[in-house]
Amino acid sequence: MRSIRRGWVALPDADPVTVGAATRGVVITCVSAAERMGLWMPEASPLHVAARPNAARVRVPSQVVIHWARPVVPRDPETTVDEIVNTLSLVAQCQPREIALVIWESALNKRLIDRRLLSGFELPHPARELLELATPFSDSGLETIFVTRLRWLDVPMVPQAWLHGHRIDLLIGERLVIQIDGATHVGAQWTTDIEHDAQLMLRGYTVLRFGYEQIMARWPEVQAIIMDAVAQGKHLG
């Protein structure tokens, strides 16, 4: 056991990032705290920390992002990782809206927080905007991204709709089914989903299935397919 700062000691197997935060008197926050909470992260990000309001100067590596904003919820002086409300507030102010919305909806979906509780805090304007948009229905960040990027179509979209005994990822209109395969979508689940696709098609639905790489790296192609399907009325009953 070693002393790392006045009042703080660390065991040999302590998490080095947490030890670094405690040593420098900062708190792990924003996307870094969100990742530790198990929230869906679309891409890797440098470490984000928050300086305490009374900190005059903080010495951290150049690649570390420091947040100086006053927290929404007062921070326990003995914590090293920010709590959920402060984390989401900083995510809203720091990240592009699409990424921020992915993280917010992941938090709502995992029931780490709910909209009613969030609405009671004095949130900054970007967080208030996200609160109006975020829903708890997306099971993955890919679903959030898909719906967000297609809102301009002005066509009804229902995530996690229930059709003929199974959930589907997204229903556009009445008949256009979107299934989204994550990077680890294999095995028995894949077989069950393919069987369900066949049953839906026999009942007059159009089923389109997209993978992680298509959505994240080749979105214009995906959007063009959706636009063609809507133009042909595949979403209509």
Span 87-134, pLDDT tens digits: 999 999 999 999 999 999 999 999 999 999 999 999 999 999 999 999
Q: From CA 97, how far away is CA 182, in angstroms rounded?
A: 22
User: 55 versus 62: which is more confidently predicted?
Assistant: 62
Amino acid at 159: P
Q: What is the pLDDT of residues 4-50, one digit of tens each?
A: 888 899 999 999 999 999 988 899 999 999 999 999 987 788 999 99
Over 90: is that where the pLDDT of 183 sits? no
Angle of helix 219-231 versus helix 141-150 axis, rounded to 10? 60
Angle of helix 97-109 versus helix 141-150 axis, rounded to 10? 130
What pLDDT shows up at residue 5?
85
Q: What is the pLDDT of residues 65-81, one digit of tens each?
A: 999 999 999 999 889 99
Over 60: is that where the pLDDT of 185 sits? no
What pLDDT shows up at residue 190?
78
Q: Which strands sit side by side in the sheet containing 26-28, from one edge to the other?
A: 26-28, 48-51, 65-67
Q: Per-residue pLDDT averaged across 215-225, rounded?
A: 96
Count Cα neighbours of 227 within 13 Å in the Cβ-side half-sphere: 9
Q: Provide the token pair at 176.
A: 């256009």
What pLDDT shows up at residue 139?
86
Angle of helix 125-133 versus helix 84-94 axis, rounded to 10? 100
Query: Which one, of 5, 28, 6, lies nearest residue 15 by Cα?
Result: 28
What pLDDT shows up at residue 138?
87
Number of H helices, E strands in the chain: 10, 11
Residue 50: φ, ψ to 5°: -115, 135
Over 60: is that where the pLDDT of 184 sits? no
141-231 CATH pick, 3.40.960.10, 3.30.2290.10, 3.30.420.40, 3.40.50.300: 3.40.960.10
Q: From CA 180, how far away is CA 142, in angstroms rounded?
A: 7
What pLDDT shows up at residue 4?
86
Q: What percent of the chain has pLDDT over 70?
A: 97
For residues 40 and 106, is the Cβ–Cβ distance under 8 A?
yes
Q: Using the 8-state DSSP alphabet, how is residue 171 labeled?
A: E
Q: pTM for the complete prediction?
A: 0.86
Over 70: is that where the pLDDT of 186 sits? no
Task: Label residue 9 exposed, middle or buried (CB < 10 Å: 0-12, 13-18, 19+).
Answer: exposed
What pLDDT shows up at residue 60?
76
Q: Provide the token pair at 157.
A: 């979209």
Sequence-distant (≥ 6) Cβ neighbours of residue 98 within 8 angstroms? 145, 148, 149
Over 90: is that where the pLDDT of 187 sits? no
Q: Per-residue pLDDT averaged across 203-215, rounded?
A: 94
The ranges assigned to domains in the chain are 2-133, 141-231
Q: Provide the token pair at 163.
A: 């059709």
